Structure 1
Amino acid sequence: MKITDIKTAVVAYHGKATLVRIDTDAGVTGFGEANPDAGAAAIVGLISELKSELIGEDPRNVEYLWEKLRRKHVFSGAQSGIFLIALSGIEMALWDLAAKAAGQPLYRMFGGKFRDRIRLYADCGDGDGPAGSPEGCAARARRMVAEGFTALKFDIDDLEHPAKFDAVNHTINGAELRSMVERVAAVRDAVGPDIDLCIDLHARYDVPSACRIASEMERFDLLWLEEPIPAENVEALKQIRMRSKTPLCVGENLYLRWGFRELFQSQGVDVVMPDVPKCGGLSESRKIAHLAEIYYIPFAPHLVSTPLGTMATCHVCGTVPNFLLLEWHALEERDVWDSYVHVPGGGPSIVEDGHITLPDAPGIGVELNLDGVRKNAVPGYGVFE
């Protein structure tokens, strides 16, 4: 079996999500997805450049092909960023293809599964209207719990807060902090003590601000406080972790197992959250999870992908022992999100009661709905042309 072509499509979701298709001379096709937070034009262009290095190769040699591309381009950015995001999309398509060729669900290719269902947390953003208000946050929390979710996440970093003194320096002030506390208190009161609650700060703050926020959050028994500061400075993260009982979750902006090594060795994190279609791909994410397990750190991937990338990530979550939770970010774009794949069994969505069930179909286990892809394709990129 040889690779004959690699094509892309770009669809509207969380910005622009890049889908990848790999064709072979055996008639087997694999699909993957690159994280949509990066520039689609750059990802599409890079995949087009890398295609010539994969044509004629056996797609079942997934790890070899991944390493071939990474090593060859180590001097042109293959450590992080756009290159790794593009490589993650390619690698996902290779795994889908290899599993289909073997007639096996993807989790079998990874040694089998620890669990049948993947527990999700609903990313609730800044709540229902009025957005950002305690009442709006409480309303959304109750709505998602009613849909079966047992874990929620809210954003409380408000760069447009009227009490801010500076547009660049985000050192927290008392009025901002009170607003944060009021929103989290409203959510906790709305859902009670048994719903896991996560709070995201999007790496906005400095160490003094993060310590103040983390301290105030202790009363709410959070599952985690997410990225109060950028994750690159592990010593700064450790300062926050030592000063508060609130667990810290970081990792969505780190790449490859090497990018996580110091984080684990220095024990600057309580929960790790690599983004699978961003940090290097499916195999790399499993390696990161296994490294985390050495330090008894739970694995809870960040995710902003379509159902294709989501289900592929579920196969990773199902095959590592230290999996905790997986992000589900499609609340605001649910109809578009659901339209991108054919749901196994013909249901309306792969998400049911706050969980996703691992499919037994070969490959990732969901097939793209090309009608949905074409309907929501971003103009100017084509659809697998």
Structure 2
Amino acid sequence: MNQDRRIFLKTAGLGSLAVVGSTRPTAGPVLSETISAIKNAEPMKITKIEAVRFRPDLKLDGHGVVWMWVRLHTNNGIMGVGETYPFTEGQIGMLKDLEERSWMGKMLGRDPRDIEGTWRDVFAQIAFHGWGGSDMRILTAINIAQWDILGKALGVPVYRLLGGKAQQKLRVYNTYTSYWTINGMQMEADTEKIVRWLLDRGIKAIKIYPYEKVAERTGGTYISPADLENALDWIKRIRDTAGNEMDIALDLSSQWNLPCALRIARSLEPYKIMWLEDVLLQDNMQSYATLARETSIPICISERLATRYQFREMLEAKAVDIVMYDLTWCGGISEAKKISDMADTYYIPTAPHTCGGPILWFSTIHTATALTNFFIMESCFHFYNFQYPYFIKNVPVPQNGFVTAPEGPGLGIEFRSEPFERGDAIVEKIAES
């Protein structure tokens, strides 16, 4: 024990940690905050790194598990868990490469609470070779695990570390596809039933994909007047069923060229669309700026972008009305908060993408709770009702159209042991000191 720490303990009335819980008078009050401060001043380091993959033939509600987890263990027994998706083997390979071959990205021996320094070093490492793909996604998973550790070490939920509650609860929309359904209902046959089901549960926004089939047929290079009219069918039926009570977002999956995008947008303007999402590929912000300028429908982009650097270009080009990112792709909790804060300086709201795994769901809820420019966040009945509960005991489920952040330390996730015991979740040790 050095001299400064002895002085601190003495003045705090803690000449020995053995006085904790003692009823004897001391030189000063024994405060839990003081004890916590001492505990968290102790060195902490990462001692083991693990990857968790899932059995390839595991099916939940008819679908496989596409995400993987990173587990960081520390010398004081705290474990943090992060997540990314969808290319598990490439991501695990990148995790191994960082530890075995990099000169700036090694994790063993680091203090996991040094979140900003770790992000800087790992990003510098992957940027040396041209960043993107699995390297960015594994950096993201590491970052989420670090925030989980920090919250657990301090005994507070992650949203508190991000500035506390800017939002008491978070409004959600439901993403609806032909494969992520509610009780097997399909938009073609059951639009009205789907809308009423959501409204009955207080969910007043839906995201749909009415242009996919024509994009597959034409390659996104042409859309006829008949195609434009046919694509309006679901939208008209939603409006007939719910009036303006149901917001409608449209995801175009980056399948279109700019002339088609403009034609689609103009055909939709009478229907009060909440946003058009990912109409074009994400690599030309000037084209997006043209689209945003030429339509009254808000443009939402994009979970396909990563880091504040790419989002800066988008914002400076005036190419976006609503910022969307995927927290398990964009660089993690750290980067998501910076992206949203940067967007806020342009008075642009944030609408996070969440159709991945359960840790994405939890970490997005924590992050969004701390955002002053939060607009709405994605949810999907298929995931929170069927897939997430298989692994997690305390999955946040929308109540009257909103979700709230858990109050447990870190991400507050209560994992089930059964998937590990059954061999559905497979743990691989990457490195250990």
Q: 1:244: which partner in 2?
A: 295
Partner SS state of residue 26, structure 1: coil
1:319 to 366, 370, 374: 370
Shift of 1:31: 0.9
Structure 1 partner of 2:34: none
Could you say which residue in structure 2 is the equivalent of 1:179? 230
Q: 1:108 aligns with which of 148, 154, 160?
A: 160
Deviates further, 117-126 or 268-277: 117-126
Task: Please state how far the C-alpha of 1:160 moved relative to its aligned partner.
Answer: 6.2
SS of 1:277's equivalent? coil
1:39 aligns with 2:92: no
Tell me whether 1:370 sits opposite 2:417 in the alignment.
yes
Structure 1 segment 1-385 matched on structure 2, within 5 A:
1-11=44-54, 15-34=65-84, 36=85, 38-51=86-99, 53-78=106-131, 80-126=132-178, 131-133=186-188, 135-159=189-213, 164=217, 166=218, 168-331=219-382, 334-343=385-394, 349-372=396-419, 377=424, 382-385=426-429
Change (3 A) 1:33 1:161: closer
1:71 aligned partner, one-letter code = A
Kindly provide the CA deviation profile for residues 143-175 of structure 1, in whole angstroms up to 9, marking residues without a partner as x.
12222212211111223689x4x4x35421223
In 2, the alpha carbon distance for the partners of 1:95 and 1:319 equals 14
Does the Cα contact within 8 Å between 1:341 and 1:372 map onto a contact in 2? no
SS at match of 2:72: strand
Relative to structure 1, the CA distance from residue 331 to residue 353 in structure 2 (aligned partners, 3 Å threshold; closer, same or farther) is farther
Alignment-derived partner of residue 28 in structure 2: none
Q: Which amino acid aligns with 2:341?
A: H
Using the size of structure 1 for normalisation, the TM-score is 0.90
- SS of the aligned residue for 1:252 comes to coil
Contact 2:144 2:332 in 1 (8 A): yes
The separation in 2 between residues aligned to 1:217 and 1:157, in whole angstroms, is 12
1:40 partner letter: T
Shift of 1:224: 0.6
Q: 1:243 to 1:160 in 2, by over 3 A?
A: closer
Amino acid at match of 2:141: G
How does the TM-score come out when normalised to structure 2?
0.80
Contact 1:14 1:304 in 2 (8 A): no
Please state whether the residue corresponding to 1:90 is helix, strand or coil. helix
Indicate the RMSD between aligned Cα atoms, in angstroms: 2.2
Amino acid at match of 2:345: I
- Is the Cα–Cα contact under 8 Å of residues 214 and 223 in structure 2 kept in the other structure? no
- CA shift for structure 1 position 320: 1.4
Instruction: Please give the alpha-carbon distance, in whole angstroms, between the structure 2 residues aligned to 1:279 and 1:330.
Output: 24
Q: What residue is the counterpart of 2:22 in the other structure?
A: none
Change (3 A) 1:116 1:371: farther
CA distance in 1, matches of 2:392, 2:278: 31
For residue 95 of structure 1, report the CA deviation from its aligned partner: 0.6
* Alignment partners' CA distance in 2, 1:22 and 1:137: 44
SS at match of 1:121: strand
For each residue in 1:163-192, what CA deviation from the matched residue of structure 2 results, as whole angstroms up to 9, or x when unmatched? x4x4x3542122321221111111222222
Give ranges in structure 2 of 5+ residues lacking alignment.
1-43, 101-105
Q: CA deviation at 1:296?
A: 0.8
Q: Alpha carbons of 1:202 and 1:311: their partners in 2 closer, same or farther (altered >3 Å)?
A: same
* 2:396–2:404 Cα contact (<8 Å) kept: no
Deviation at 1:358, TM superposition (A): 1.1
Comparing 153-162 with 234-243, greater Cα deviation is found at 153-162
Contact residue 30 and residue 93 of structure 1 kept, 8 A: yes
CA offset at residue 334 of structure 1? 2.8
* Greater Rg by CA: 2
In 1, the alpha carbon distance for the partners of 2:423 and 2:378 equals: 23
Distance 2:95 2:239 in 1: 45
Shift of 1:372: 4.0
* C-alpha distance in structure 1 between counterparts of 2:196 and 2:111, whole Å: 50
- Give 1:15 shift: 5.0
Give, in whole Å, the separation in 1 of the partners of 2:237 and 2:423: 36
Q: Contact (CA 8 Å) 1:161, 1:176: kept in 2 or not?
A: no
- Distance in 2 separating the partners of 1:195 and 1:169: 28
SS in 2 for 1:16: coil
Q: Which amino acid aligns with 1:266?
A: A
Question: Deviation digits for residues 69-113 of structure 1, max 9, x if unmatched?
Answer: 1112212233x2221111101110011011101111101111212
Deviates more, 1:266-275 or 1:138-147: 138-147
Listed one character per residue, the Cα deviations across residues 359-382 of structure 1 (whole Å, up to 9, x for unaligned) are: 22110011222324666837xxx2
* Contact in 1 for aligned 2:80/2:147 (Cα 8 Å): yes
Amino acid paired to 2:415: L
